Amino acid sequence: MPAVAAVAFFAQLLTALLLYNQYRASRYVPIFILSLTYASTSLLLFLYVLTLPHLFSESGLFGAGSQASAWLYFEWHALFVVLVLIYLYFDRFAALELMTPKREAAAMRRITWLVVVATLLAGGVPIWFHDVLPQIVDGTHGTRLWGQVLVPGLLGLYGLALIVLAIETRFRAVAQLTIGMVLIACFFEVLIGNVLASSRFTSGWYLAWVEWIIAAMLFLGVLLYHVYQVVLELATSNRALLRQTRIDELTGLLNRRGFNANLEEQWRHSKRTRRPLSLLLIDVDDFKRFNDRFGHPAGDDALISVAEVLSSFTRDGSDSASRIGGEEFGVVLGETGEAGGLALAERIRRSVEHLRIPQASDAAHTYVTISIGLASTSHDAEFSPADLTMLADQALYTAKASGRNCTRSAADDEVAARRSRLRVVPRRASTDVPGA
């Protein structure tokens, strides 16, 4: 019993908290009343369990007699139905927009004080004045007052609330449908526990508690599902936004931001696993002449064609292709050494040449071509992402100076000679990649 009651208590308390947070977000007064409803009934449920005879003590805690828990049971159920009816009243006025914000605030203050006072009275009177209250239980059995007056009245209240809810709302909203299901579950809980069960602590009485657990957790389950949906939508939106900030709109490849992030990630993986990493920097040859001759729309089409070639040669996960400038591209090759990088670079270069996109007449080649600079990590020197980018850029410069439409590696003698003249050496401290 304490375990079952604890589940119901915390479920109702959490429901009240979630409903209150929804009210703070929406400022919709009926939601605030529902929050009060679950908060007050959770307190009365807590007192009911503490005062139940034979559970924590022979007559119940706080000096309560045998009648206290029975009256708390009735008051806790009755207060729930009354507050649901108040919720429906305010929901109707809110839907019709008949209340001004000033009147709503005043009504909320009055309702809050009313609920607080009603809860304190409902909890305190049965405990401190149980001797003067009418007897409604005799041992574990209910008296005639309980069985013929209070229980039928309670069932009638639940039935009335359900009918009013159906007429007023037609269960148009999820909250209204959930409240209807809670009322039905509570109705059958009272019916099973007090009409079909012969007395307390029988199988029917425990079955009624199962019904109450269902009633207590119904709204919580709906609210948690709603929270899950909101979090899922937020995560999806964040992923979409992140993708937009890292994708080049024209080619669909990664942009410079995405290139930097991916290169950093693959560099860390290479350093951790001691596996090689290669970087290709690619530039479309004589692209300004191409644009001047055929126009920018044709230039965009040419860039898209080159991007499609690059995408076809990248593996999912370890490789990535990026557009990092106007006509400049980058390809990060995870777990690929210099030999593999050179072989792939040559295949990419030949594939672009085989597209046979006509070039301007004053260009170096008849068709659109690319130049490629390659740099690879090695185990005898620790390169940062910025070092790798710088070395690949120098190799690309050498490829351009060598007549274009070719591939050069940072390990080539001519690139190494140029690097020594410029006194460019790998750095060990910085891990920053040049920004866009």
Active site residues: 327
Strand (E) or helix (H) holding 3: helix 2-26
| Cα–Cα distance measured from residue 298 to residue 46, given in angstroms and rounded to the nearest whole number | 75
Task: Find out whether 433 and 427 touch, Cβ atoms under 8 Å.
Answer: no
How distant, in Å, are the alpha carbons of 27, 280, 392, 395 from that of 374?
A: 60, 5, 5, 6
Q: At 330, is the secondary structure helix, strand, or coil?
A: strand
Q: What is the dihedral of CA 8, 218, 43, 53, to 10 degrees?
A: -40
Cα 201 to chain centroid, rounded: 43
Q: CB within 8 A of 233, min separation 6: which ones? A: none
Angle between helices 174-191 and 203-246 (to 10 degrees): 160
Q: In which residue are the tokens 């914000």 written? A: 101
136 CB neighbour count, 10 Å cutoff: 20
Intra-chain end-to-end CA distance of the chain, in Å = 65
Is 114 buried (19+), middle (13-18) or exposed (0-12) by CB count in 10 A?
A: middle
| Cα–Cα distance measured from residue 393 to residue 433, given in angstroms and rounded to the nearest whole number | 13
Is 132 buried (19+), middle (13-18) or exposed (0-12) by CB count in 10 A?
A: exposed
Cα 367 to chain centroid, rounded: 50
Token pair of 215, please? 């009633």
User: Hey, which residues does 42 pair with through a beta bridge?
Assistant: none
Strand (E) or helix (H) holding 106: helix 101-128
C-alpha triplet 137, 140, 142: angle, nearest 5°: 35
Q: CB within 8 A of 296, min separation 6: which ones? A: none
